[in-house]
Structure 1
Amino acid sequence: MTPELWWMTWTAILAGSLWIPYIVGVNTEPATEGARPEDPFTRPPSQSDMRPWVHRAHRAHLNLLEQFLPMLALVLIAHAAGVNTGVTVWATGLFFAARVLHAVGMITGKAGFPLRPMIFNFGWFCILAMGGAILLSA
């Protein structure tokens, strides 16, 4: 397994697990009049009515999915094309680290403006680096 695929495996595990904080938050939301229906399979209350960290957990998951798909596509293209460079290895490793920092910072609320957007943009630069490495190898 290439280092790029190894890092994408960990990123996939993160993406596949990041729903957990949101679901924990939804299911531990304090019961207020009309906020939690008796039927547990109905839609959860509006996110604006939830505790801030629960809303941020949902957004952290969505933000990861927004960047994971293009990065994964590029890693698979690089793998199929036999592109494996220092840039591709570092881009995938740093991408994973950025996504972990972004998720933790967002859910805890510790990474506010401008840190959180900077981390998100760093992930985007990793995507660009990966794409650039592929295009330059052609």
Structure 2
Amino acid sequence: MQPTFLAASPFLPLIGVSVIILMVHIALQALTATKELGSDWNAGPRDDNKQVKGQLAGRAERAASNFLETYPAFIALAFGVIMAGDPIGLALTGAWIWIVCRIVYIPLYLTGIPYVRSLVWIGSMIGLLLMLFVLLF
């Protein structure tokens, strides 16, 4: 039987959504790299250390790397807030901000839109800071 605070947490669906975002990044990176480097490269051991050179594949790779830089913090903060509680909903607001910004970030990065992409990244960091604030204060 699960503890009731886990079963009732609104953070659990957001953690699930975050996994979907991760899978989208992995799929985009794999599809664009395979399109550029070929199916034999994708199916093989990749011993030759080939790197993508195309614009879209490079952007997909960098976007995935950028996501992975903040993803552990999101997961740690989400579970921390589940354990500590979020009496005023500030952390939940932060989690939603992070989720929305990370979704919006993907097409912005893939299409190469500058500045707005950076603002969206800053928004995702604000979301994490709101979650952290709940744990610290």
Q: How does 1:54-133 map to 2 (within 5 A)?
A: 54-109=57-112, 111-112=113-114, 114-133=115-134
Structure 1: runs of 5 or more not aligned: 30-34
* Alpha-carbon distance change, 62 to 3 in structure 1, aligned in 2, over 3 angstroms: same
Deviation at 1:10, TM superposition (A): 0.1
2:123 and 2:80 mapped to 1: Cα distance?
Answer: 21
**2:24 aligned to 5, 17, 21, which one?**
17
**Unpaired stretches in structure 2, ≥5 consecutive residues:** 1-7
The number of equivalent residue pairs is 127
The alignment's TM-score, normalised by the length of structure 2, stands at 0.81
Do the aligned residues in 2 keep the contact of 1:4 with 1:88 (CA within 8 Å)? no
- 1:68-96 CA-to-partner distances (Å, cap 9, x unmatched) read 11011011011112234321111111110
Taking only the aligned residue pairs, the percentage that are identical comes to 18
C-alpha RMSD of the superposition: 2.1
Whose helix fraction is larger, Structure 1's or Structure 2's?
A: 2
TM-score (norm 1): 0.81
Distance 1:44 1:125 in 2: 36
- In structure 2, distance between residues paired with 1:59 and 1:6: 26
CA distance in 2 between counterparts of 1:5 and 1:121 reads 24
Relative to 1, partners in 2 of residues 1:75 and 1:55: Cα closer, same or farther, differing over 3 Å? Answer: same
Give a deviation string over 1:32-54, Cα, whole Å, max 9, x none: xxx7696541256323x2x2111
After TM superposition, the structure 1 stretch with the greater mean CA deviation from structure 2, 35-44 or 2-11, is 35-44
Find runs of 4+ consecutive structure 1 residues off by over 6 angstroms: none
**Pairing 1:28–2:38 present:** no
What is the alpha-carbon distance in structure 1 between the residues aligned to residue 118 and residue 94 of structure 2?
18
